Amino acid sequence: MTTTLITGASSGIGAVYARRFAARGHDLVLVARATDRLDVLAEELRKAHGVTIEVLTADLTEAAQLDAVAQRLRAQPAIDILVNNAGAGLANGFVQAPVADMQKLLKLNVEAPTVLAAAAVGGMIKRGSGSIINVASVLALLPEYSQGIYAATKSYMLTFSQSLAVEVNPQGVYIQAVLPAATRTEIYERSGGDISKVPDVMEVDDLVDAALVGFDRKELVTIPPVPEVSAWEDFEQARGTLAQGFSNSQPAARYRA
């Protein structure tokens, strides 16, 4: 029996992950702040699929509540798949945003997934199997399209996934970074935005179904909206070419007086 823990399961992308993994017969641990919404979803999925579902209410920006989720990841029944999905945006640009709001965003989008991955990965390595899905964003690759620190938090999720994969893939642990583009969820309204002003929005079911195709193929990076995978492969190849210069012992000629 596979057990999957999903953060941010009360709405949007996380709720669809819950539906899809329950349909695959996984037991679930659903994490978010809105207990009422988690309870309704849990009851629906228990009835539909006969799976066991734990509801774990937690504000992941609160240290003690984050720790409770981390403890669940270290406990039994073992968690086979961690979906680091909970996240939020921020309405204002960097100059206008209150520092306290930015600190909270860093806790939710960066610190929490890091702490939870750390809690999960040890057991996965011991068992020689397990998966961590980190929900990033295409803004990780397009920081100029986004004001403030949101894109930087999502770049962290991509970079973190790439580093972690190198470290733990050989020990049987699979890491996936998912990079959605604009997807129809509550995230815009929650951060003071208006989704009706966003062109070309993907439906959330389509996004998660595509991400799960990438998951089943064991892709490291899954970008559902990119039409041709060769565009991503070319980007990665260019990155590799850039890296060839990094081992030079001297600064480039253009920087020498």
Which of these segments, 159-167, 185-193, 231-239, 249-257, binds ligand NAP (CB under 6 A)?
Answer: 185-193
Q: How far is the CB of 249 from ligand NAP (least distance, A)?
A: 40
How far is it, in rounded angstroms, from Cα 84 to Cα 255? 42
Ramachandran sector of residue 199 (left: φ over 0; alpha: ψ -120 to 50; beta: rest): beta
Nearest to 14, CA basis, from 178, 160, 149, 217: 178
**Which residues are 135's β-sheet partners?**
178
Which of these segments, 120-128, 178-186, 228-236, 238-246, binds ligand NAP (CB under 6 A)?
Answer: 178-186
How far is it, in rounded angstroms, from Cα 223 to Cα 89? 19
In the list 2, 4, 131, 137, the residue contacting ligand NAP (rule: CB under 6 A) is 137
- Report residue 74 as tokens: 């270290």
Q: Is 88 in the site for ligand NAP (CB under 6 A)?
A: yes
Q: Is 85 in the site for ligand NAP (CB under 6 A)?
A: yes
Q: How far is the CB of 19 from ligand NAP (least distance, A)?
A: 13
Contact present, 56 and 30 (Cβ < 8 Å): yes
Q: Is 45 in the site for ligand NAP (CB under 6 A)?
A: no
Q: Is 70 in the site for ligand NAP (CB under 6 A)?
A: no
CA distances (Å), 150 to each of 98, 129, 137, 183, 251, in order?
Answer: 14, 31, 10, 16, 33
Which parts of 97-116 interact with ligand NAP (CB under 6 A)?
108
Nearer to ligand NAP, 136 or 173 (CB): 136
Contact present, 47 and 24 (Cβ < 8 Å): no
Size of the site for ligand NAP (CB under 6 A): 28
Which parts of 1-20 interact with ligand NAP (CB under 6 A)?
8-14
Which parts of 48-67 interact with ligand NAP (CB under 6 A)?
58-61
Residue 190 is given by DSSP the state H
Q: Is 146 in the site for ligand NAP (CB under 6 A)?
A: no
How far is it, in rounded angstroms, from Cα 38 to Cα 18? 10
Name the residue type at position 107.
K
Cis peptide before 98 (omega within 30 of 0): no
Nearer to ligand NAP, 202 or 220 (CB): 202
Q: Is 222 in the site for ligand NAP (CB under 6 A)?
A: no
In the list 29, 55, 117, 187, the residue contacting ligand NAP (rule: CB under 6 A) is 187
How far is it, in rounded angstroms, from Cα 108 to Cα 87? 6
Q: How far is the CB of 230 from ligand NAP (least distance, A)?
A: 22
Name the residue type at position 128.
G
In the list 67, 167, 186, 234, the residue contacting ligand NAP (rule: CB under 6 A) is 186
Judged by the rule CB under 6 A, the positions of this chain that interact with ligand NAP are 8-14, 32-34, 58-61, 85-88, 108, 135, 137, 180, 182-183, 185-187, 190
